[in-house]
A and B are shown apart, each in its own frame.
Chain A
Amino acid sequence: MRWATRRNVHIDRAACAWLIRRHIDPAAEFVFVDDPGDVPADATPFDMRGAELSHHGPDCSFETILRRYELTDPVLWKIAEIVHEADVDDERYDAPEARGLDVILRGLSMTCDDDRVLELAGPLFDGLHEYFRRAFTLGRPPA
């Protein structure tokens, strides 16, 4: 399936792309557009104004996708808190990791194109997921 989002991806779009590839559509292909009007007819838009898979109410797009696809894994919701704070920064959650992740993604988007950012964000979010999976299992931060 093809998925479309805005060019110059940042935290929310990078996280959504990872989520889509790992949990919704392993064969996902991503296209980047400048304007919502440029989304190809066969592509599902996300994190764009007017799209269903976007910000809604207080939720960022990552949270919207979790709800829409009924992904209830608490580890994914923990990552959602970090993505939310890195993206929206409204202190809805206590997520001190957000600041660092925001800086890392901003830096990547300065040195890499969108395809490369998604490629690098893959192992980054895989690692975050594993870290919090272990944290949930242990009930404390894993060493």
Chain B
Amino acid sequence: MIEWVLLAYRIPRTPSSPRIAVWRKLERLGVARLGDGLVALPADARTREQFDWIAEEIGEAGGTATIWVATAGGAAQEQAVAQAMRQARAEEYRAVIAQAEAAAGGGEGERRRTAKRLQAELRRIDRRDFFPPEEREAARRAVRALSRTAGAGTGGTTWGGHTTGDGDPAGGDHTAGRGGRGTDGERATAASAAGEETR
């Protein structure tokens, strides 16, 4: 099982703007919501730091926040949390795929603009994708294909998120399809593919 960083917080209902700002930041980080005012992320230097700053912001907004480092009480619980996070990202990747496909029939200008926008969107999703779903590769391919037809850069830029592929705790329930270690292999394959394109 992996180490998680937890943020337990309370923030006043009014004024609502700092509360909304905090909510948006947590969404952007792709947190698992474990309960009312309790969110979690796989622990690494970056996620711990991000929680630190959000905790600070909550304090400045008149709320309270504490940060904890924890492991799940059982592997099944951890897998359920990881699976929910994976599904949330899968949905985002599917939206990217749908938009790439919808733009494919448009004019060149539209294809180029959409490709650029979706590349940026992929980068954002990648940063909060801690347990990559299968849709990730499909989304990258869809955006690369769109970029190619628009004569824009090939989506190699989607590379380099802060995913924790090698700590995938839910890998165990995927032994039939892709094992927990499969993630590294997939990334290596994608890396060499991206490398070939830019060469």
A56–B55 CA distance with the chains assembled, in angstroms: 11
A90–B57 Cα distance when bound, in Å, is 14
Contacts A8-B45, A10-B45, A49-B52; is A89 near B127 (CB within 8 Å)? yes
**Is residue A104 within 8 Å, beta carbon to beta carbon, of the partner chain?**
no
Docked-complex contact B28 and A55, CB < 8 angstroms: no
Q: Which of A10, A56, A88 contacts B60 (CB 8 A)?
A: A56
> Chain B 37-55 against A: per-residue CB contact (8 Å), 1 yes, 0 no?
0000000010001001101
Flag whether A24 is at the interface (Cβ < 8 A): no
Instruction: Please indicate the chain B residues that have their CB under 8 angstroms from the CB of A58 in the complex.
Output: 21
Contact check, A88 vs B53: say whether CB atoms are below 8 A apart.
yes
Query: Is the pair A103, B28 in contact by a Cβ cutoff of 8 Å?
Result: no
Across-interface contacts of B127 in A (CB, < 8 A): 89
Q: Are A55 and B53 in contact (CB under 8 A)?
A: yes
Interface code A29-61, partner B: CB below 8 Å = 1, 0 otherwise? Answer: 000000000000000000001100011111000
Roughly how many angstroms separate A107 CA and B181 CA in the complex, as a whole number?
24
List chain A residues, Cβ under 8 A from B60.
56-57
Q: Is B25 an interface residue (CB 8 A)?
A: yes
Instruction: Tell whether, in the assembled complex, residue B160 and residue A55 are in contact, meaning their CB atoms are under 8 Å apart.
Output: no
The answer for the CA separation of A103 and B28 in the assembled complex, in Å, is 20
Residues of chain B contacted by A55 (CB below 8 angstroms): 53, 56-57
Offer 16 A-B interface pairs, CB within 8 angstroms, sorted by A. Answer: A8-B45, A10-B45, A10-B49, A49-B55, A49-B56, A54-B56, A55-B57, A56-B56, A56-B60, A57-B57, A57-B60, A88-B53, A89-B127, A90-B25, A90-B28, A103-B160
Which chain B residues border A49 with CB–CB below 8 Å? 52, 55-56
The digit string for A1-41, where 1 denotes a CB below 8 A from any CB of B, is 00000001010000000000000000000000000000000
Closest beta carbon of chain A to B63's beta carbon, Å: 14
Report Cα–Cα, A56/B45, bound state, in Å: 20
Roughly how many angstroms separate A55 CA and B28 CA in the complex, as a whole number? 18
Bound Cα distance from A89 to B25, whole angstroms = 10
| Chain B residue nearest to A48 in the complex (CB) | B52
**What residues on B are CB-neighbors of A54 within 8 Å?**
56
Q: Report Cα–Cα, A8/B84, bound state, in Å.
A: 31
Interface members, chain A 86-128 (any B CB < 8 Å): 88-90, 103
CB neighbours of A90 from chain B (8 A): 25, 28
| A6 → chain B closest CB, angstroms | 8
CB distance from A61 to the nearest CB of B (A): 9
Which chain A positions have C-beta within 8 A of B55? 49
Closest to A61 in B: B53
Q: What CA separation (Å) do A109 and B96 show in the bound complex?
A: 33
**Which residues of B, 112-170, contact A by the 8 Å Cβ criterion?**
127, 160
Please report the C-alpha to C-alpha distance between residue A83 and residue B55 in the assembled complex, in whole angstroms.
20
User: Could you tell me the distance between the alpha carbons of A57 and B21 in the complex, rounded to whole angstroms?
Assistant: 10
Alpha-carbon distance between A103 and B162 when the two chains are bound, in angstroms: 11
